[in-house]
Amino acid sequence: MKKYLWVVVLIISLCSLNFFVQTLTSNNFHSKFHLIKKITDDPKGKFFFFDPVDILADQQNIFVLDSEEKNIKIFDKGLNYISSFSREGKGPGEMISAYNMEFDEKKNLVIYDSRNLRFTIFTREGKYSKNWNYTPIVAKFAIAQSGDYYIETMDYRVEHNNLYNYARLIKMSPDFRKQYVIDSSKTLIAKFVNNSQRVPIPFSNMFLWALGKDNTIITAESAEKKIKIFKNGILKKQIQFDKFRKIRVTEKDKKAYFDGFVISDGNVTSHSVPDYIVKNTSFPTYKAYFQQIFTFHDLFAFCGYMTADKSKAGYYIFNNNGEYLEYIELPWKIYNYYTAISNEHIYTIEKTEEKIYLAEYSFKSNLKN
């Protein structure tokens, strides 16, 4: 995920008209994209999009992971539905709660199931291959061309009425027999009041990372200016990057924060924010510098926040060696959209209040590593 290719989705998601063409320029950056095709639920009932949470694309097919239907849908490059595989359950090749999907070095599909606590491998045709248990809580994983796994694990701990997330980025051999920690982080995510009521920290610091080409990993904390570059799991460079922009938290930001609240007890979901949260929420003066790192065109992009007029967001572009290229402002869109890139084609899941779409765009830019 994915948490990780987001700049492309933000570029294309403002294209609301079929075959709409737009060119974007900023300093030395130039890009052009247009919508090719968009589909939604099949009218004959062959497939439905319930809650797609991840998408992959290669030279032949597009794969969509649906967490609600507990399956993976296969489409050809023309967005024609082919088939689905997997189902809900604990048996071989079944899933309960999967949100992350990657290709391995052999182009098999790998998912992590947080309820079954295991990785599962399928062939690209959807045939179950194998699974293995992995009990740590996985926030995100990526697989290098070498077959090595990079896995971010989470561990929540309460210290002095504060809730912290201890994140660790682990490099794992393809057979899962050898592992070591590449980087780690401790971030405050909530505090407790009255010994039991938990209040989230708005615009909190986050541990972020992305896998680039040649086993290059870049890590950072969103509220810090230090960037780390790893090659094959070994720290090669640390950068103190002072160009990240400070953006103040406004009254509109505070209102939007509470408006976006979703409270759930596992059975009932509510958008009404409890009074104790409103009363005990402390907003920082500034937002974190950025809220995502991802890769596109073999480059790393640090995704920042919206511009003052809310029409665009800022992106800090780095090459694979951690060298800063430039700051770009591009169209802004909500961060729950998922994208995959295959050559110069973009495949994205787009969610509206009424429907969910799978769309294909053409995308070209002059940004190369």
CATH number at residue 308: 2.120.10.30
Residue 135 in any domain: the answer is: yes
Residues in CB range of 103: below 8 A, 6 or more apart:
56, 58, 109, 110, 143
pTM (predicted TM-score): 0.84
Residue 278 in any domain: the answer is: no
Residue 48 in any domain: the answer is: yes
Residue 272 in any domain: the answer is: no
The domain containing residue 320 runs over which residues?
Answer: 6-249+284-364
Residue 369 in any domain: the answer is: no
Residue 150 in any domain: the answer is: yes
The number of domains in the chain is 1
Residue 258 in any domain: the answer is: no
Residue 256 in any domain: the answer is: no
pLDDT per residue rounded down to tens, the chain (369 residues): 444 333 333 333 333 323 333 444 445 656 666 788 999 998 888 999 999 999 999 889 999 999 999 999 999 999 999 999 999 999 999 999 999 999 999 999 999 999 999 999 999 999 999 999 999 999 999 999 999 999 999 999 999 999 999 999 999 999 888 999 999 999 999 999 987 789 999 988 999 999 998 899 999 999 999 999 999 889 999 999 999 988 899 998 899 888 877 766 555 556 688 889 999 999 999 999 988 888 877 788 888 876 666 666 778 889 888 899 888 776 554 333 567 777 777 888 888 778 999 988 886 766 665
